[in-house]
Structure 1
Amino acid sequence: MIRLFKHYIPHAVILLGLIDLALLVFAGDFAWRLRASQIGMDPGAIAARGWQLAGFAGIILTAMIAVGVYGADALRSMRFATARLLVAISLGVIALAFVDFLFGGQNFWRSTLAYSMVGAIALLVLNRLVAGGVLGASAFRRRVLVLGAGQRAARLRALADRPESGFCIVGYIAMTDMTPDIEESIARSAISNLTRYVENLSVSEVVLALEERRNALPLGDLLRIKTTGVHVNDFSSFIERETGRVDLDTVNPSWLIFSDGFSSGRAISSAAKRLFDIAASSLLLVLSAPVIVLFALLVKLDSKGPAFFRQTRVGLYGQTFDVIKLRSMRTDAEAAGAQWAQKDDPRVTRLGKFIRKVRIDELPQTWSVLKGEMSFVGPRPERPEFVAELEQQLPYYAERHMVKPGITGWAQINYPYGASIEDSRHKLEFDLYYAKNYTPFLDLLILLQTLRVVLWHEGAR
């Protein structure tokens, strides 16, 4: 994987994205030349239309990222990828037409956009047909040797078996005399020189997956392996990198303290984030005001009760604040006390089902962003009643309050809607990853992919 602004991106995704970018530029240039030949115009040098081509390719690629073209499902399913490509390119072309209209120019002709759209779809689908099998081949995956043969090693094997995995495991070494969970593992005593064994297998990374490190940590072997240029990683760091979450089953306080992350040098990033929140929330409140007013009236007509409701949530450093949302449930929804939302929740009104799916009920929360109680991106704020329970049952739950809560977040785009202690545990793993690895780049990635969640109603309940 390649680490970009503290966030890991698979090599295959980077390579696929670069090829897509080149093909988009080619499609845009071909469309221009085709249209120029039809009207008898000199197409001119490619440098003269460089910014138009860059704008076309950049906006389409941004739309592709936003709708999940580079997600795990799209990488392993050609049918899934094609559907997302069609949506992304359509949205991108609409955005380009809007830009051309907004600035009153003739930079993106409708005819060239139509040709570009057809050409881009054909080339990008062909790219996935040709390169898809190659990118998924083991030759493009990192070769990993696992030191350990217990439950942690079994978890790594399951992770490597995923179609979108960026690594393959070339061997397991049982470091203790305990009965191994991995039958094909080799006993450490059967290997005379571990460093040479690593070299012979062309291993690119060694992962320490010991159930118990006491008297089993091969410091001498690991030092020699490290000095030969092979990357050595511990289990928790490897899981964090490969899954984008902090594994609560294996993480300990010392790992959180000494691992990279939770950087104190966030003053500039935090200031930039606040400026973005103020500008974006002000603009969104102005643009969405008619929508909010319209649906507020519809909520009043659909069921008895107020159009809006306030609810206390826990925010930064555990401080409470009130969020405002369009009401999507009956007024007596919590007559018996605070409850988790359920699938097909009977408390949700007819209109409430719709506004929850398209996230219209969340729009008034933009006011909390403008006031500084929330941000656009961050862990979703929970209710005090649930927080008290979750802090008792889930380790490190309080650490998620070290960053400002958000309307959307890393957990929201990676994990479906959950309404239980176990779901909260999984979401906490993603929230801790965000708090640990926050950068403006990660915020941008989350904002873009929130469009995917809204379009396909992922996580809505």
Structure 2
Amino acid sequence: MVGFILFFVDASFLFASVYLVSLVSFLMPIGQFAIVIVSLISFYAFRLYDLPRIKRTQNLLSNALLAVVVSGVLVVLIFFLPRLVLEQISRRALLYESSLLLVYLYLSRKIASSLIKRSPVRFFAIGCSVDCVEDCSVKAISNSTATIDFTSFQEAIKEFKPDFVVVPVDSKLANVNILPLDLPVISSKQVTEIFGLRLDLGQFRPEELYGYAFSSWYASVKSVIEWVIALALSILSFPLVLIAAIAVMINDPGNPFFVQERLGKNGKPFKIVKIRTMRKEGDHTSWTKDKDDRIFGAGKVIRKLRFDELPQFWNVLRADMAIVGPRPETPSIAAELAEKIPFYNLRMKVKPGITGWAQLNWGYDGSLEDVQMKLSYDLFYIKNRSIMFDLRIMLQTMETMLLGRGAR
């Protein structure tokens, strides 16, 4: 019902916004109508009416931006190319409209998703347990045989009406075809992966990582795209780096940059460059804590705005790092963690990044448990890497920076 109402709100906003844009920039009625229709189709295609999913996956900004970009491209292809309509819509009008749309989509979905009450996910677990990663209802049934025969559980499943049937990893299944076609059967470790967007380290196997994510095509395209972005951002952020460096020297005289050895892809050492936010004296190898007294005044602001990470674009240009990937660690800490945490070194199968899936979902390390949780997110990213996933992480990082979340 909320989605249905939202559709009419979207249509009303689109008609009103394109009319206002037409007052500022040249936009004929045919252009106004084109933008409204194509935008609504794009909103639906990028699941901006699926509010429970938006609330669960928290990828609103990336979906909104993609919907706006795709609708803009479609308007150009369909209505700009014919000579008759080429002058009906100006590029400036399209830019104004796209900017309005992006702000509207973000705010409207944030408000709408906060109004809905998400119903618990219902799991029917056979011979295994379910680690709930969100509000859920679980009915667990024991199974003493080596094979799970669904004829024995058909009535119980029909009565409970689950959203998912969960079975042990690598279990043998019989008579699966008696289940409704819209009832997914998943393994217990997939629950964490699907709903938590991370891997279950207790049931993880290293061979899971190797697939499309390690294709040479993806690696080449990712490297080119990130190098171009890093070059542009290095130039654009130079004034911010300069201002931050001056602020550091005023607060704590000395070199405003912090250079430290970190481990890159396949454990290859390199020198990472950051803006210094801690006093020169003291230990710089231990984990950052809340209200860390090593951080001086200007450093707290710089970390809050994440300006301390900007010089790392230079590392991307040197091919030491990527924009998206697991955070690089010092050799001593990496060796210590590898001894205590299984599979820890697998995060070095890819280039380390300035931002990453673990940073967005968990933040800074404060304990061994934090490291294990972040590793589960890092391995999920490595397993599911793609250009679209990288774009989503970049956009969510922008959202985090603008809202000032997660920095310490």
Aligned to 1:161: 135
| Kept after mapping to 2: 8 A contact 1:311/1:322 | yes
Aligned to 1:28: 14
Deviation, 1:194, is 2.1
Aligned to 1:183: none
Aligned to 2:86: none
Partner SS, residue 357 of structure 1 = helix
Partner SS, residue 166 of structure 2 = strand
| Kept after mapping to 1: 8 A contact 2:151/2:178 | no
Deviation, 1:275, is 0.7
For 1:109 and 1:245, the matched residues in 2 are separated by: 37
Deviation, 1:246, is 0.9
Aligned to 1:8: none
Aligned to 1:448: 395
For 1:284 and 1:42, the matched residues in 2 are separated by: 33
Question: Where does structure 1 lack aligned partners over 5 or more consecutive residues?
Answer: 1-11, 76-80, 97-103, 163-167, 178-187
Distance change (3 Å), C-alpha of 1:306 and 1:226: farther
For 1:364 and 1:109, the matched residues in 2 are separated by: 31
Deviation, 1:266, is 1.9
Partner SS, residue 317 of structure 1 = helix
Partner SS, residue 294 of structure 1 = helix
What TM-score, normalized by structure 1, do the two folds share? 0.68
Aligned to 2:93: 107
For 1:121 and 1:232, the matched residues in 2 are separated by: 34
Deviation, 1:238, is 2.1
Aligned to 2:153: 194
Deviation, 1:333, is 2.6
What TM-score, normalized by structure 2, do the two folds share? 0.76
For 2:29 and 2:307, the matched residues in 1 are separated by: 47
Partner SS, residue 305 of structure 1 = coil
Q: Confirm whether residue 175 of structure 1 aligns to residue 134 of structure 2.
A: no
Aligned to 2:355: 408
Distance change (3 Å), C-alpha of 1:369 and 1:28: same
Q: Confirm whether residue 333 of structure 1 aligns to residue 282 of structure 2.
A: yes
Aligned to 1:234: 187
Q: Confirm whether residue 205 of structure 1 aligns to residue 164 of structure 2.
A: yes
Deviation, 1:53, is 7.7
Distance change (3 Å), C-alpha of 1:52 and 1:325: farther
| Kept after mapping to 2: 8 A contact 1:33/1:43 | no
Partner SS, residue 275 of structure 1 = helix
Matches within 5 A, 1:92-103: none
Aligned to 1:180: none
| Kept after mapping to 1: 8 A contact 2:350/2:382 | yes
Aligned to 1:296: 245
Partner SS, residue 145 of structure 1 = strand
CA RMSD of aligned residues (A): 4.3
Aligned to 2:269: 320
The answer to which of 348-357 and 224-233 deviates more is: 224-233
Deviation, 1:137, is 3.8
| Kept after mapping to 2: 8 A contact 1:27/1:120 | no
Which amino acid is the alignment partner of residue 234 of structure 1? S
Distance change (3 Å), C-alpha of 1:74 and 1:240: closer
For 2:329 and 2:107, the matched residues in 1 are separated by: 45
Q: Confirm whether residue 286 of structure 1 aligns to residue 260 of structure 2.
A: no
Deviation, 1:239, is 1.4
Aligned to 2:203: 251
Partner SS, residue 290 of structure 2 = coil
Q: Confirm whether residue 376 of structure 1 aligns to residue 323 of structure 2.
A: yes
Aligned to 2:79: none
Aligned to 1:429: 376
Which amino acid is the alignment partner of residue 29 of structure 1? F
Deviation, 1:385, is 1.1
Q: Confirm whether residue 223 of structure 1 aligns to residue 174 of structure 2.
A: yes
Distance change (3 Å), C-alpha of 1:350 and 1:200: closer
CA deviation map 1:274-302 (0-9, x unaligned): 11111111111111112212221221121
| Kept after mapping to 1: 8 A contact 2:166/2:186 | yes
Distance change (3 Å), C-alpha of 1:296 and 1:127: closer
Which amino acid is the alignment partner of residue 50 of structure 1? A
Partner SS, residue 107 of structure 1 = helix
For 2:318 and 2:21, the matched residues in 1 are separated by: 50
Question: Where does structure 2 lack aligned partners over 5 or more consecutive residues?
Answer: 73-89
CA deviation map 1:58-88 (0-9, x unaligned): 89x99x9xxxx9454989xxxxx9xx9xxx9
Deviation, 1:205, is 2.9
CA deviation map 1:111-170 (0-9, x unaligned): x8999799879965785587x24xx246xx5x4311136xx34x33xx3526xxxxx43x
Deviation, 1:198, is 2.9
Identity of paired residues, percent? 26
| Kept after mapping to 1: 8 A contact 2:252/2:279 | yes
Deviation, 1:352, is 0.7
| Kept after mapping to 2: 8 A contact 1:245/1:429 | yes
Distance change (3 Å), C-alpha of 1:270 and 1:52: farther
Aligned length: 373
Deviation, 1:251, is 1.4
For 2:251 and 2:111, the matched residues in 1 are separated by: 48
